[in-house]
Amino acid sequence: MAGLIEQVDLRNDKGFDSANLFREMSTLAPSIVNKLQMGLQWIKTHNISAVIIGGAAVAHYVQGARPLTPDVDFMTMNMADVQAKLRQDGIQFAPLAEIGAFTGIQVPQFDADFLDGTSGTPLINRYIFQTARNERIGGATFPIISPELLAIVKFNIGRDKDDKDAFMLLQNGRLNKELYLKAVKDLRSELQDAQSVKMYSQMIL
């Protein structure tokens, strides 16, 4: 059974679907890369259901985005399972400072944060899981938020740096306009300004 588990190697560029994400990770301190690799391997070994979101997802899709922060953000719909397996392995974690209506945990050993997908914007979060793409990172396959949903989520957060990320996503040629507009329609009840987010679709290349 152990032989079937994908092995993560963040130092091999051939294991990445995104050359930009590899370049960004290669600029991080070796100790940080070791932590991230350990965390990603832990997720594969324990078959954790989680989607990569946040800065790593932006770097996966967009060249020239702001520098990758030395952590990886995940969203899970089964926080109890994540916490149980962390405890089982003796890995410490602590509650995240609340991010709006979101709750979650931080795992210092992995430089990773896990957001609870049942908090915050549950409809959007379920949609993130339903539309996630399977991509290769470090030679292993991980679900990552789709570029359409990532842009919409960034606009919905509304901070200047998130808006900048979202506009870069719209213009990088990776978004599908029909999927973007369908998501805006399906998720309008949880969007702060659905009309503006819909209007931004005109910028999709």
C-alpha span between 200 and 202 (Å, rounded): 5
Q: Calculate mean pLDDT across residues 49-59.
A: 95
**Under 8 Å between Cβ of 40 and 25:** no
C-alpha span between 61 and 106 (Å, rounded): 24
**Under 8 Å between Cβ of 117 and 102:** no
Q: Specify the amino acid at residue 147.
A: P
Give the SS3 label for residue 104: strand
Alpha helices, DSSP H only, in the chain?
19-26, 30-45, 54-61, 79-88, 122-131, 147-157, 160-170, 177-187, 194-199
Residues paired with 135 in a beta bridge: 142
What are the tens digits of pLDDT across the range 77-115?
999 999 999 999 999 999 998 677 789 999 999 999 999
Q: Calculate mean pLDDT across residues 195-203.
A: 95
**Under 8 Å between Cβ of 125 and 117:** yes
Phi-psi region of 31 (alpha: psi -120 to 50; beta: other; left: phi over 0): alpha
What are the tens digits of pLDDT across the range 152-173?
999 998 889 999 999 999 998 8
What are the tens digits of pLDDT across the range 123-151?
999 999 999 999 999 999 999 999 999 99
Give the chain's length. Answer: 205
Residues paired with 115 in a beta bridge: 75, 104
Look up the pTM and report it. Answer: 0.93
Q: Specify the amino acid at residue 87.
A: R
Q: How confident is the model at residue 3 (pLDDT cuts 50, 70, 90)?
A: low
C-alpha span between 119 and 117 (Å, rounded): 5
What is the chain's mean pLDDT, rounded? 93
| Pairing mode, strands 72-76 and 112-116 | parallel
